[in-house]
C-alpha cells in the first residue's frame, strides 16, 4: 500500500476484535512516532495490558462525566459507552507543560503512528478522551503505573487493533477548506 492509499484508507475505528496487536507490529508502529517532526520533548507510552486498559477506560469515563462539557457528559452517559472502544492497544502521547508546542508535536507523532498501523492492516482512532483519565483523583497512581515521566501530561492517544464489525461509519464530510495562491 503506498502512502496516499494509507492516508485515504484512514478512518476512526470504534470497534475492535478481541485479538491482541502483534508485539512486533506494535513496536514498529510505536517507533514511527519518534520519526515525526518535533518541537521540544515528548514521550510515547504503549499500553497493551488488559487490566490497565480497562482502568484507563473507567477513569476516562469518570473524567468525561465530571468534565463540565455537555457533549462529553452526554456521551459518557450513553449506555454501554466505552471511551477506549475496547481497544487491545493504546498509545499515549505526553509532553511537559513547559513545551508550548507539545500538542503539535504529540499530534504529529500520533499521525505517524496512525499511518503506520494502517499500513500494517490495523484500525485506529485518534483520541483525546483518554486524557480525561488524568483529570481524576487517581491521576498520580495512573501516571506512576504508566511510567509517564515527571511533569509530562498526556495530550492525545491512538487506539490500535483489528477492526471489528461496526455500525456504518459515516464518511468524512467533504469540506471546502483549501485555497491555492498562485
Is the pTM value of this prediction over 0.85?
A: yes
Note the pLDDT tens digit of each residue in 65-94.
Answer: 999 999 999 999 999 999 999 999 999 999
pLDDT tier, 179 (very low <50, low <70, confident <90, very high otherwise) = confident
Note the pLDDT tens digit of each residue in 122-132.
Answer: 999 999 999 99
**67-70, Cβ contacts within 8 angstroms, sequence gap of 24 or more:** 67/132, 67/135
pLDDT at 41 over 60: yes
Cell of 145: 503505573
Cell of 99: 513545551
pLDDT at 169 over 60: no
Residues 6+ apart with CB under 8 A from 180: none
CB 122 within 8 A of CB 161: yes
Lowest average pLDDT, out of 28-37, 123-132, 155-164, 167-176, goes to 167-176
Query: Which whole number is the average pLDDT over 99-106?
Result: 95
CB 148 within 8 A of CB 94: yes
Whole-angstrom distance, CA of residue 27 vs CA of residue 20: 13
Amino acid at each position: 500500500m503506498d502512502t496516499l492509499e494509507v492516508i485515504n484508507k484512514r478512518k476512526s475505528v470504534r470497534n475492535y476484535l478481541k485479538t491482541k496487536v502483534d508485539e512486533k507490529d506494535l513496536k514498529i508502529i510505536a517507533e514511527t512516532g519518534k520519526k515525526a517532526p518535533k518541537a521540544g520533548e515528548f514521550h510515547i507510552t504503549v499500553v497493551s495490558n488488559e487490566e490497565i486498559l480497562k482502568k484507563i477506560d473507567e477513569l476516562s469515563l469518570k473524567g468525561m462525566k465530571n468534565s463540565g462539557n455537555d457533549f462529553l457528559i452526554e456521551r459518557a452517559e450513553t449506555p454501554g459507552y466505552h471511551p477506549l472502544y475496547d481497544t487491545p492497544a493504546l498509545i499515549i502521547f505526553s509532553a511537559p507543560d513547559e513545551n508550548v508546542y507539545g500538542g503539535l508535536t504529540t499530534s504529529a507523532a500520533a499521525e505517524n503512528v496512525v499511518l503506520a498501523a494502517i499500513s500494517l492492516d490495523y484500525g485506529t482512532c485518534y483520541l483525546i478522551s483518554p486524557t480525561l483519565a488524568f483529570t481524576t483523583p487517581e491521576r498520580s497512581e495512573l501516571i506512576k503505573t504508566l511510567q509517564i515521566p515527571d511533569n509530562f501530561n498526556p495530550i492525545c492517544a491512538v487506539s490500535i487493533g483489528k477492526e471489528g464489525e461496526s455500525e456504518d461509519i459515516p464518511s468524512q464530510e467533504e469540506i471546502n477548506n483549501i485555497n491555492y495562491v498562485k
